[in-house]
Every structure is written in C-alpha cells, then in structure tokens.
Amino acid sequence: MDLEYFKEWVYKEFRIDLKAYKPTQLHRRILSLMSRIGVNSVDEYINLLKKDAGQREKFLDFITINVTEFFRNPDIFNELRNKIKDELLPLNKNLKIWSAACSIGAEPYSIAMILDEIAPGGRHSIIATDIDKGILERAKRGEYSESEIKNIKNDQLNKYFKKQGENYVIDNKIKSIVTFKKHDLILDKYETDFDLIVCRNVVIYFNQDIKDDIYRKFHGSLKKSGLLFVGATESIYNYKDFGFDKASTFIYRKV
C-alpha cells in the first residue's frame, strides 16, 4: 500500500495532514477500513472516496476518531469541576473556554452543565471545535442516545435533557453557551485569552513533534494561570518545557 501517495491525496482533497499521525497506527486503521468495505488498493479506495459521499463521510469519521461521551472518566471530570470552582472563577466570573476536537459535543456540553451548576450567573462562552464538519452539525443538534449519556446523573438528566423518542435532546440554555466551529489543530491558527482549554484523547494519535507543537500553541492561547485539561492516557511528562506546571494528574497550569 502506497501510504505516502494516499496521505498526499487526502491532504489535497480534505486538508487533513495524515503525516502528523503515528504511521503504524494510521496504516493499521486505513487497512482495517479498506478491508471492511472490500477495497484492495489505494487507487481503488481513492476512486471510491471521489464518487461515494457516504464512504467519504465514513472515512472522515473513522480517521478523525470520533469517540466520546458525557463526563468521560467521571472522577477526572470532577477534579476539573473543582479547579474551575476554586481556581478559575475567583479570577474571572465570565470564563472563556475552548473544547478542542469536540466530536459530537458531549465534552463542551458537559462543561456547560458544570458552569450552570457552579456559576449560573456568569456570561461564559465555550468554543467547541473539530475538523469534521459532519460531526459538528450533529453536535449542534445536541441529540444523544441512551449509551452516550450513561455518565449523566438523574438530576442532571431531568434538568438538562428532554426525551424525544429513543433519544435525549439537550436544553437550549446549555446549547446557548457553546459555539461550534471547524478547526484543524495542526494547520489552523489558535485563538487566544482562554481560561481553560480541554483537549482529550486526541494528541495520542499524533507524532511527537506535532504533539509538542500543539502543547506550545495551547500555552500561547491560554491566559496566565489558565488550565489545560488532557485525556486519561495523555500525561505530559515534560510539561515544564511548554511553560506549564502541574495542577492535577491530567490538568496543567500556565505559568
């Protein structure tokens, strides 16, 4: 399989830089996807992606790893809740937050619920970004299956969701806090003056140089004493190199 040729085509077609991904994992994921649909060569797969919108959507969803849920790793999310309450809100009553690689929106909506519970009077804003336009459209709808809301407590479910058929739709008050935008962590510019950046279970798929560059840009996007919240498999061991100190196991503070 000519992976380099495929990477170049994907970049031209979708503006997704697959060179940033760990090659072994990437190769395995692409081969797995091709095998599932019975495609035997790169050229055959490219031709399929050119003419079949459904297969393009499947490829983008597969390659951008849209796996998420509300309050993923609840104990760690509770730690974030405490940091927001004890460290960020005393400095600023109106928080500006970035949920990077937000997928179906479960993560930014989780944070919006936390803010409504601990600081309901604030004019908070959450910018939620992802590379996948289709997944952003789904996130804006705020409609979720029972399995996707499994970590939500009953009182939160009753307060923030309405059941429609088999699914649950999030309340407009929570939706209004979140603005969804398309953004590529590797290629696009970063906004600034964030109190908190949440980016979980994404950079593990990137090579080390890209990871380091993202952490440096996150540092530049945060206010002084702002927090970076990462995934449960993404401890930053050399966090001091990027201008952070450790606020908690998976939370880092800009110094």
Comparison of pLDDT for 204 and 35, the residue scoring more: 35
Q: Which structure tokens are listed for 160?
A: 């923030």
* Domain range summary for the chain, segments of one domain joined by +: 3-63, 74-254
Handedness of CA 214, 220, 222, 228 (dihedral sign): positive
The whole-angstrom separation of Cα 29 and Cα 243 is 34
The 10s digit of each residue's pLDDT in 78-123 is 999 999 999 999 999 999 999 999 999 999 999 999 999 999 888 9
**What's the pLDDT band for 201 if we cut at 50, 70, 90?**
confident
The whole-angstrom separation of Cα 173 and Cα 171 is 5
DSSP states along 39-99 = --SHHHHHHHHHH-HHHHHHHHHHHTT----TTSSHHHHHHHHHHIIIIITTT-SS-EEEE
pLDDT at 1: 59
Three-state secondary-structure class, residue 126: strand
pTM above 0.85, yes or no: no
Q: Does residue 176 surpass a pLDDT of 80?
A: yes
Q: What is the CA radius of gyration of the chain?
A: 19
Three-state secondary-structure class, residue 120: coil
The whole-angstrom separation of Cα 179 and Cα 37 is 35
The whole-angstrom separation of Cα 240 and Cα 183 is 27
The whole-angstrom separation of Cα 83 and Cα 73 is 16
User: Mean pLDDT, the chain, as a whole number?
Assistant: 90
pLDDT at 146: 87
pLDDT at 119: 92
CATH label, 74-254, candidates 3.30.420.40, 2.60.40.420, 3.40.50.150, 3.40.109.10: 3.40.50.150
The 10s digit of each residue's pLDDT in 123-165 is 999 999 998 888 899 999 999 988 888 889 999 999 999 999 9
